Amino acid sequence: MKLKIKTTRFGTISIKKEKTIDMPFGMLGFPDKKKFIILQHRENSPFFWYQSVDDPTLAFVITSPFLFKPDYKIDLEDALKEMSWNGDGKTDHLEIYIVVNIPKGLPEKMTGNFIGPILINNKVRQAVQIVISNSPYIHNFPLLSV
């Protein structure tokens, strides 16, 4: 089944219903937006839009943390418990993204938030934004080291 989703950035897009991702607790600061889709930014781009299904105007920029910090490592135990995703210890259905920020007109100053990653469970198509405390990571890590 296909869903038609209205977006202000990309017009109306048609997407398979099973491609949507449920966020029972929403993104921090946006608790009432609970459904999202991931859209590839463009070919060869490391970025994706995390587009709200409920709000056409709302989309976050996300990317893989490992592209910029190959040794990125976080403890998922609390999040797995919180989401009741306690399974068989396997993690290959889990995906991690970080939220990207680009100051207006200053793309070279782009940063990634490594203490608020989004954890996606592809098996149940659910996601949660994790709050990482007591880690060596920061909320505005420069993605380009120039």
Partner 1 sequence: MLILTRKLGEKINIGDDITVTLLEIKGTQVKLGIQAPKSIGIHRNEIYEKIREENLRSSNVTDSDLSKAAALCEPFALRE
Instruction: Please give the structure tokens belonging to residue 57.
Output: 């105007």
Across 17-110, where does the E strand assignment appear?
21-22, 35-40, 47-52, 59-63, 94-101
What binding mask, one character per residue, do residues 24-53 give for partner 1 by CB under 8 A, x or -? xx-xxxx----------xx-xxxx------
Q: How many residues bind partner 1 (CB under 8 A)?
A: 45
Amino acid at 114: F
Instruction: Please give the structure tokens belonging to residue 14.
Output: 């048609």
Q: How far is the CB of 30 from partner 1 (least distance, A)?
A: 7
Cα–chain center distance at 142: 18
Residue 70 contacts partner 1 per CB under 8 A: no
Amino acid at 132: I
Q: Are 117 and 12 in contact (CB under 8 A)?
A: no
Of 74 and 102, the one with the shorter C-beta distance to partner 1 is: 102
What binding mask, one character per residue, do residues 88-127 give for partner 1 by CB under 8 A, x or -? -----------xxxx-xxxxx-xx-x-xx-----------
Backbone phi, psi, residue 100, to 5°: -110, 140
Binding footprint of partner 1 on the chain (CB under 8 A): 9, 24-25, 27-30, 41-42, 44-47, 58-62, 67-68, 81-82, 84, 99-102, 104-108, 110-111, 113, 115-116, 129, 131-133, 139-140, 143-144
